[in-house]
Structure 1
Amino acid sequence: MVTRTVALRTAAACALPLLLTSCGNDGPPAASPGTSAAEVQAITSTFEHFFDSSLPVDQKMALLQNGQAFTETLEHQAHSSIAGGASANVSQVDADGPGRASVTFTIKKHGIPLLPNRHGTALQLDGTWKVAAATFCDLLRIEGGVPAVCDATPTTAPVPTS
C-alpha cells in the first residue's frame, strides 16, 4: 500500500505538467468514428506536449484550458525534481461532441507506467485543442494538493481503485 501511495504521488507530481512519451503503444492512438485523423493527431500532440517535462511553462499554459490560472502550479512542477523523466502516451481519442474529445493516456516515469489508462478530456477552444483544466486537476488531486482554481473545476474521471 505504501509503495502504491508513493508511486501515485510520484506519478501525480510528474503528471502534472510534464509528461508524455510512449507506453508500450508505439502506433498512433485509436480513434472513434467521427474523429478525424487530423483531430486525433492534434489532440495527441496537445497532450504529449503539455506533459513533456522539457516544454517551458509558458508553452504549457497555452496547451491548458485556463492555463494562466495554473501558472504557479505549472512553475512549481517545472522546478520539481520528481517531474524529471515524466511522460505520457495517448492510446485512445474518442469524439465526445463538437469541440470535445475523451482521451485515454498513460503517465510514465523514466518509461515505467505509473498511472495507466487515465481518462481525460480535450477541448477545442478558439480553434485550438487544449487539455481540459478538469483533467489536470484530476491528476493534481491524486497528488493530494490542488490549487484553488481546481475547487471550481469538476473532475473528468474517477480515480481507479485497483
Structure 2
Amino acid sequence: MAARGTAFAAALLLLLAPALAACSDDEGGGGNESPPTPTVEQTERTEPAEQSPAATAPADVGAAETEIKQNWQKFFDPATSMEDKQTVLENGDRMAPVLQAFSGDERGGQVQAKVSKVDFTSPTEANVTYDLTLKGATALPDASGTAVEQDGTWKVSAKTLCALVQLSGNGSPIPGC
C-alpha cells in the first residue's frame, strides 16, 4: 500500500512541477511568459487494447475443436477403459478417485456426450456445450463444461467431472473435487 502511495505522490509531483516552477519567478517580476505545458509520455503497452483472435484461441482452432470433440466422446464412452479415460481427463492420475466414483455410479457408466459447441476463451481453455445422453436418450441437453489443453492434449476439465459427480446426487464429497 505504501508503494502505491509513493507512486501516486511521484506522479503528482511530475505533473505539478512545471506549474509550480512557473509560479515561482526568480526575478520577482511576474513575466509574460506562459508556463510550460506538461507533456504525457506514451509508454509501450504490454497488452493490446483489443485482444486479437490469436490471443483467445489456439493457433489451429479447427484441429483443437476436433480433438476436443473426439476426446469428450472418448471420455464419456462406456466402452472406454478407465486408463484411457484418465488420458483425456485433466490431471487424470490425481483425479482417479473422482473418475472411479463417476464411472462406478450406475448412470455414470451409461452416459455418453455429444459436443455441439466449442468456444475458446484462451489458447489453452474452452467452454464446451454438449448433450449428455443416458442409454441413448438425452438426459442433460445443452450442458456446459470446460476443456483444457494439458501436456499437448485437449482434455475434459477436472471441474466438469466434479460438477457431474455432484449432479449424480451421491451427496458425499469426493476427494479431488
The TM-score, its normalising length taken from structure 1, stands at 0.66
Confirm whether residue 135 of structure 1 aligns to residue 160 of structure 2.
yes
Deviation at 1:86? 1.9
The TM-score, its normalising length taken from structure 2, stands at 0.60
Q: Percent of aligned pairs with the same residue?
A: 33
* CA distance in structure 2 between the partners assigned to 1:78 and 1:140 by the alignment: 9
What is the CA deviation profile of residues 16-68 of structure 1, one whole-angstrom value per residue up to 9, with x for unaligned ones?
Answer: xxxxxxxxxxxxxxxxx957221110010111111111100011111111111
Matches within 5 A, 1:35-74: 36-74=61-99
**2:175 equivalent in structure 1:** 148
- Is the alpha carbon distance of 1:90 and 1:53 closer, same or farther for their aligned partners in structure 2, counting shifts above 3 Å? same
Confirm whether residue 103 of structure 1 aligns to residue 135 of structure 2.
no
Confirm whether residue 120 of structure 1 aligns to residue 126 of structure 2.
no
What is the CA deviation profile of residues 59-80 of structure 1, one whole-angstrom value per residue up to 9, with x for unaligned ones?
Answer: 1111111111222332344444
Structure 2 gaps of 5+ residues are 1-55
Structure 1 gaps of 5+ residues are 1-32, 151-162
* CA distance in structure 1 between the partners assigned to 2:155 and 2:125 by the alignment: 10
* CA distance in structure 2 between the partners assigned to 1:136 and 1:84 by the alignment: 13
Taking CA–CA contacts closer than 8 Å with sequence separation of 6 or more, which of the two structures ends up with the larger relative contact order? 1
Q: Which amino acid aligns with 1:69?
A: R
Q: Which amino acid aligns with 2:162?
A: C
- Is the alpha carbon distance of 1:149 and 1:86 closer, same or farther for their aligned partners in structure 2, counting shifts above 3 Å? same
Contact 2:118 2:126 in 1 (8 A): yes
Aligned residues: 118
What is the CA deviation profile of residues 70-96 of structure 1, one whole-angstrom value per residue up to 9, with x for unaligned ones?
Answer: 223323444444344421110001111
RMSD of aligned C-alpha atoms?
2.0
SS of the aligned residue for 2:80 comes to coil
Larger Rg, first or second structure (1 or 2): 2
**2:19 equivalent in structure 1:** none
